[in-house]
Amino acid sequence: MKNFKELKVWQKGFEIAVKSFQLTESFPKEEKFGLSLQITRAAVSVSSNIAEGSSRSSEKDYKRFLEIALGSCFELETQLMIAEAANMGLKDVREVMIKALDEEQKMLMAFIRKLGNQ
């Protein structure tokens, strides 16, 4: 088992999850169970899947969880684009999240490639 908390890719995912709650706080109250909930769930899924994958005994299983985390990143990116188009949430928080998400996607893809080459 690897210590997931030491992985930069997990740390970045964790930061994104925390930011997702800050972003959705500024959403209209009627969005509490709509886009707001989808954003926080996708964001929490990123670091959660990295952590869960680190407990797996095979690299193949670990890679599968990293791929799920990457899928959650793409899902979250789409949701942030929708929030932007609908002018929901604080613009500066959205921009920080989108930048962090881009970095997270690149780190996950590199990590997945590294595991695939072993």
Q: What is the pLDDT of residues 12-69, one digit of tens each?
A: 999 999 999 999 999 988 877 799 999 999 999 999 999 999 998 888 999 999 999 9
Q: Which two tokens stand for residue 5?
A: 């908390």
* Residue 112: CA count within 13 A, CB half-sphere: 16
Torsion of CA 63, 66, 72, 73, to 10 degrees: -120
pTM above 0.95, yes or no: no
Considering only CA atoms, which of 7, 15, 11 is closest in space to residue 54? 7
Domain parsing of the chain, residue ranges: 4-116
CATH architecture of 4-116: Up-down Bundle (1.20)
Structure-token pair, residue 12: 């970045």
User: Contact at 8 Å (CB) between 67 and 52?
Assistant: no
